[in-house]
Amino acid sequence: FTGASQWVPPDGGLKKLLAALPECRGCDLYEDADRVVPGEGPARARMMLIGEQPGDVEDKEGHVFVGPAGRLLDKALAEAGIERSEVFLTNAVKHFRFERQGKRRIHKTPAAGHIKACHPWLDRELEIVKPSLVVVLGAVAARAVFGTGFKVTEQRGLAQELPDGRAAIATVHPSAVVRSREYRRDFTLFVNDLRAALALLK
Ligand code: URA
Ligand code: SF4
């Protein structure tokens, strides 16, 4: 893949980014997805949450975290005392990757090449929003932000620092909690990590 660089505006704000995003041909994922799903939230958000990629519902509606994972995230944010409307929510990869099984579209984890190709969009979002804290949701976002070798299961809930000096913290992806067989335990752990994130902002 050639990567997204040539489609990412080198200047301007979120509006300009939003206008440019649908033109992106940085990897093959735009071909089968219905639409691109941009990051959303205040341009001056202090906290940026980074997920994996849009899901089936997000791809149909064009908004981040509006499907089952989003509902769980909403619940967890509320329990942790974080206002969804005050954080910037985005994904490491901006198009939905899936496999067809009959009529259903089944989520397929983005490949390393997709994560790398889409990274210029994430970089630009970070440059524009300048969050004080980055909250990494799951292994794909961790790969995008920390690189390979970062283990979410070992590092979750612990303060991290990005190469640019920005504070960060990692936790699991909300869809992992949705699918969990030990839901109550995993939901509580997820909320605890979000509380730890909030504490890092203070
Ligand atoms: N999962 C994600 O990582 N992001 C979304 O927007 C929805 C589901
Ligand atoms: Fe561009 Fe990212 Fe979509 Fe690939 S996934 S086409 S890099 S926006």
Report which protein residue has its CA nearest ligand 2's atom 2.
118
How would CATH label the architecture of 5-201? 3-Layer(aba) Sandwich (3.40)
Predicted confidence at residue 163, as pLDDT, reads: 87
Tens-digit pLDDT profile for residues 93-124: 999 999 999 999 999 999 999 999 999 999 99
**Ligand 2 pocket check for 24: Cβ under 6 Å:** yes
* Cα 91 to ligand 1 centroid, rounded to whole Å: 7
Pocket of ligand 1 (CB under 6 A): 51-55, 58, 64-65, 67, 69-70, 91, 175
Please determine, for the modelled complex, whether the ipTM score is greater than 0.90: yes
The Cα–Cα gap between 136 and 152 comes to 9
> In 14-37, which positions are buried (b, 16+ CB within 10 angstroms) versus exposed (e)?
beebeebbeebebbebbeebebbb
The Cα–Cα gap between 123 and 56 comes to 25
pTM over 0.95: yes
* Cα 166 to ligand 1 centroid, rounded to whole Å: 23
4 Cα nearest atom in ligand 2: 7
Per the structure block, which two tokens stand in for 114? 């997709």
Rg (Cα) of the chain, in Å, rounded? 16
* Cα 2 to ligand 1 centroid, rounded to whole Å: 24
- Let me know: does 77 contact 60? Beta carbons within 8 Å: no
Task: Determine how many CB atoms are found less than 10 A away from the CB of residue 179.
Answer: 12
All structural domains of the chain with their residue ranges: 5-201
**Ligand 2 pocket check for 115: Cβ under 6 Å:** no
Segments of the chain scoring below 70 in pLDDT: none
* Cα 28 to ligand 2 centroid, rounded to whole Å: 7
* Cα 138 to ligand 1 centroid, rounded to whole Å: 10
